[in-house]
Chains A and B, each alone.
Chain A
Amino acid sequence: MNWFDRLFTRSSRQLARRTSRRSFLNKLGLLTLGGSISTLPLLPIARANPATNPVNRGEPDPNTPEGDIYDCNYWRYCSIDGFIASCCGGTARSCPPGTEMSPVAWVGTCLNPADGKHYIVSYNDCCGKTNCQRCFCHRNEGDKPVYYPSKSNDIDWCMGNQAGIVYNSTVSIVIGVEE
């Protein structure tokens, strides 16, 4: 490996350590749009409006990534590997129109930064329409292999319903507080 490769290897690794998820796309968007409108981010877009989207009880500020249901860094999405239903016509806890929520799911344990408590989150899939393809989120905290089903987000959980196994997106429903 020559000095040129080493230089870029080192700088790339440092950049990877410094930057957060999707910030590369964000900066690329800024670069593409140019300095004159560089205050307009391409990704992620700040969708939450404090005037119309007040802080829900117990939830983090929706203007932060941990409180924004359209952001992969939203606290409940800690174990997701899929498309978040909020970006597909649903919300963090409801499925898009015309889909059906799977009655079975995998569960994760996520830290809510608003109160410092760990919550048990049920990740139910929204079924019956093809892949949403928006807001792919790949956090996988606590994910286990397919042979450990209750903790596996690689499984298509669109099972045991009327809609069948066609996967669209995933919701994140709080089902309890970890004691």
Chain B
Amino acid sequence: MKTKIRELRKARKLSQEELAEAVGTTRQTITSIEVGKYTASLPLAYKIAKFFGLTIEEVFDFSELEG
């Protein structure tokens, strides 16, 4: 799944480690989500979106599910 996490993180000058710490996950999980290898669970997606002050739809791209 495509996400805007990398852009949002870079705009706030945050490292993957810092974002991971803030949302209670590991750096490896953030890396996997950013490159689209792993899809975050709903609670984690919510935490990430909330951290950036956005909605889940604004951070995660659901267009491929809309087919």
Note whether A and B form a binding pair.
no
Which A residues have a C-beta under 8 Å from some C-beta of B? none
